[in-house]
Structure 1
Amino acid sequence: MVEAQTWATRRMSNPRLESTAVDIPSTPPGDARVPAAGASSSPSVLTALIIASWYLSNIGVLLLNKYLLSYYGFRYPIFLTMLHMISCAVYSYIAIHGLEIVPRQYILSRRQFFKILGLSVIFCFSVVCGNTSLRYIPVSFNQAIGATTPFFTAIFAFLITFKRETAEVYLALIPVVFGIVLSSNSEPLFNLFGFLVCVGSTAGRALKSVVQGLLLTSEAEKLHSMNLLLYMAPMAALILLPVTLYVEGNVAAVTIEKVLGNAKAAVAAVVSVLIFRNPVTVMGMAGFSVTVMGVVLYSEAKKRSKVSAR
């Protein structure tokens, strides 16, 4: 009792004890006190996976194009570029509409349409020149020339937009030019035509970046890179179709003949299943697909053996 009165007397003599309430937070459970390592590391892991996929796809396409054009005997770089554009259109459509990675953006005016069409023409020129160069020069030399893109970007930015860089920027471009001159002189497999078309590809890539920044500057006309590819790729494929028919001769006839011949069995099998309703297993479909693929490979091997025999 004395102890209780003493405490009450202390509270009445110190008004701060009456008006102040001290809230002591409850101790969180052990798992809540530990920071979520997965939540903090998941963006880093996703970024690493995206970068790895970008490297893998970019290098894979580059090496595959080199193999097709230089070693396999495929002599249609424009047609190959057209297939590249069709693939870009399909994959970007799936990424936007199917996977919904980015929201869909639409072309708002005829003026914006023609701006994208102009970029598609430059895009075609750059990719066609790049693929053509792979037929004549090594991949390493191709990539060394491609590293001079900042040099051409600075030139086009000055010629088109009159944008002047600082003296330090121009001085930093001197080693870029000197390095490519040194590489050209020391390249044992140097080819003048391959070198020129690769320079054209690099210049086209730089020109596209400058023109893109110039044309699509307003907020209403700005497009995400994936949406821009969705519109540019089909335009580029349509531009390249008459060019490949005119320049590369019988590529369409040869390709259509192969595709129709190899697809005939597949079409017949699908139609028979639809008409007669015969049951089909997954293993049977896989076996049929392997068979058709084997026929395609056999046809290609026979063709190459005839060419080498000549």
Structure 2
Amino acid sequence: KLHRVVSRWTARVQMAARSNGSLPGWLYAMVVVVLLVVCVTESVIFSVFNKYLFSGPLKASLFVTATHQVSCFLGATFVALMSPPSFYKPAKLNDRASFLKLMIIPFAFVMNIGMNNLSLQFTTLALNQLIRAFSPVAISITSFLIEGKVQSIPKLTTLIFLVAGVVMGVAASPDFDMLGFLICAGSVLGQSLGIVMTAFVMGGKTVKLHVFDVLLYASLPSLIVLLPWSYAMGEVEVLKEAIETNGTGVIVGLILAGGALAFTYNLFCTLFIKLTSSVYYGVTGGFRCAMAILISFFIFPQKITAIGIAGICVAMTAFIANSFFTLNEKLAARKRKHGSPLSAKNEHEEEDEEAQKPLLGDSVRSEDASKKVLIA
């Protein structure tokens, strides 16, 4: 019965996305806006939740990240069993390219999300998000070194301002912590290397993986790295102490809440991309980062200087501008290919492609891939 209900709802929404006929235009727009607000809100909540968790009740970021992966795997399994094929159908992995891609993803995830969560134990959320905003620069540099890809003048200008803003914000921060900075910077490097190396290893071959394919096939392999690393960091003892201090129920509840946030964030982002495009989702990155920085000052005891405020404003403006230049380039490319970037025909033709966007890129165009990353 649940399967039939989900099938009918998905069919109606997809029809609305294609032709705007099954749902009134205002209702379709409202659904998209609501999903956008949910995605941005949940992204900020997830960042704040992780900072709170790793700074106080449970300083075992690697172990918690492993539980997030298990939750995502279970959620993806449920979606695979219950959702109609029009929403998600597990990909068949029967070639070398698919296998190579799924071997890189867990390693890149540990380098990216694992190290990012670990850095939250040592640095403030504002600094963490500011350093993470450096990712377009890191991706551009690695893609140039590995693929020889050169950025356009407008995007290069935004990257220069982004570097200046990040340097101002980090250097002037009274909360600067060298260890936290190095770990977070390592996560940014891990993200960019994961994206570019995936494109490089694929050798031009396209392997379309739905977000849920990545959660279904690559979540558990990442535990091979996360759990031994967690044990080596002494997080087993940290977990025992946290249970003794806060109680088993509280710790289990926090772990389950984090797992639910990890999976539902991917779910809502997937719904938003299916109704619009991964290109539009990429533009929201700057707003999500800026909101997390702003809210963090109202929740956590953080300090900031006038130069730090100026640096954050410059970096966030440059980050958002870079996203919009990328959006315009993508729409222009789509227009050259189809004649109109926003036509209903285009949305119908590209629906399967947009629904299958991978976590770490699907072609040798590493920059395109970077805009399709869903970071929990």
Please tell me the TM-score bracket, short chain as reference: 0.5 to 0.7
Which piece of structure 1 moves more, 171-180 or 97-106? 97-106
1:56 pairs with 2:38: no
The equivalent residue for 1:40 is 25
Read off the aligned partner of 2:83 and give its amino acid letter.
L
Deviation at 1:193, TM superposition (A): 0.8
Task: Give deviations 1:33-57, integer Å, cap 9, x for gaps.
Answer: xx98942233322222322222232
1:196, distance to aligned residue in structure 2 (A): 1.1
In 1, Cα distance between the equivalents of 2:32 and 2:120? 30
Aligned partner of 2:144 in structure 1 is 158
Deviation, structure 1 residue 239: 2.5
Rate the CA distance shift 1:81–1:296 in 2: closer, same or farther, 3 A: closer
For 1:272, the equivalent position in structure 2 comes to: none
Residues 160 and 120 (structure 1), Cα distance of their counterparts in 2 relative to 1, 3 Å cut: same
Residue 229 (str. 1) matches residue 215 (str. 2): yes
Residue 218 (structure 1) aligns with: 205
Q: Which residue of 2 aligns with 1:128?
A: 114
- What one-letter code is carried by the residue in structure 1 that aligns with 2:127? F
Distance in 2, Cα, partners of 1:212 & 1:41: 40
1:79 to 33, 49, 63: 63
Structure 2 residue aligned with 1:286: none
Pairing of 1:126-275 with structure 2 (within 5 A):
126-216=112-202, 217-219=204-206, 221-248=207-234, 250-251=236-237, 254=240
Shift of 1:90: 1.8
Identity of aligned residues (%): 24
Contact 2:62 2:114 in 1 (8 A): yes
Separation in structure 2 between the aligned mates of residue 240 and residue 173 of structure 1, nearest angstrom: 32
**Residue segments in structure 1 that go unaligned for 5+ positions in a row:** 1-34, 263-292, 298-310
* Contact persistence 1:97–1:104 (CA under 8 A): no
Report the 3-state secondary structure (helix = DSSP H, G, I; strand = E; otherwise coil) of the residue aligned with 1:197: helix
User: SS state of the match for residue 228, structure 1?
Assistant: helix
Distance in 2 (alpha carbons) for counterparts of 1:124 and 1:79: 12
Deviation at 1:111, TM superposition (A): 4.7
- The superposition leaves residues 223-262 of structure 1 with CA deviations (integer Å, 9 ceiling, x where unpaired) of 123312322212112331222223325349839x98xx96
Q: Which amino acid aligns with 1:237?
A: L
Relative contact order, higher structure (CA 8 A, sep 6+)? 2
In structure 1, distance between residues paired with 2:201 and 2:28: 33
In 1, distance between residues paired with 2:250 and 2:233? 31
8 Å CA contact 1:76–1:251 kept in 2: the answer is no
- Please give the secondary structure, in 1, of the residue aligned with 2:24: helix
Task: Kindly provide the amino acid, as one letter, of the partner of residue 75 in structure 1.
Answer: K
CA distance in 1 between partners of 2:251 and 2:102 (Å): 41
For the pair 1:92 / 2:76, whether they are aligned, the reply is yes
Asked whether the 8 Å contact 1:78–1:248 carries over to 2, the reply is: no
TM-score (normalizing by structure 2): 0.54
Shift of 1:157: 0.4
**Residue of structure 1 in register with 2:337 after alignment:** none
**Structure 1 residues 38 and 202, CA, compared in 2 at 3 Å: closer, same or farther?**
same
What SS is found at the alignment partner of 1:250?
helix
CA distance in 2, matches of 1:228, 1:295: 27
| One-letter code aligned to 2:55 | S
Deviation, 1:121, is 0.3
> 2:371 corresponds to which residue?
none
The AA in structure 2 aligned to 1:187 is S
Residue 127 of structure 1 and its aligned partner are, at CA, apart by: 1.1
Output the CA distance in 2 between the equivalents of 1:79 and 1:57: 21
What is the CA–CA distance in structure 2 between the aligned matches of 1:136 and 1:295, rounded to whole Å?
21
Indicate conservation of the 8 Å contact 1:82/1:237, yes or no: yes
Is residue 137–residue 194 contact of structure 1 (8 Å, CA) maintained in 2? Answer: yes
- Structure 2 Cα separation of the partners of residues 64 and 182 of structure 1: 27
Number of residue equivalences: 229
TM-score, scaled to structure 1: 0.65
Asked if 1:108 is matched to 2:130, the reply is: no
Distance 1:67 1:157, change over 3 A: same
Query: What corresponds to 1:67 in structure 2?
Result: 52
Which blocks of at least 5 consecutive residues in structure 2 are unaligned? Answer: 1-19, 254-376
Describe the SS at the equivalent of 1:137: coil
- Taking a change above 3 Å as real, the CA distance of residues 214 and 174 of structure 1, as seen in their structure-2 partners, is same
Kindly provide the amino acid, as one letter, of the partner of residue 95 in structure 1: V
CA contact (8 A) 2:115 2:187 kept: yes
Q: Which amino acid aligns with 1:218?
A: K
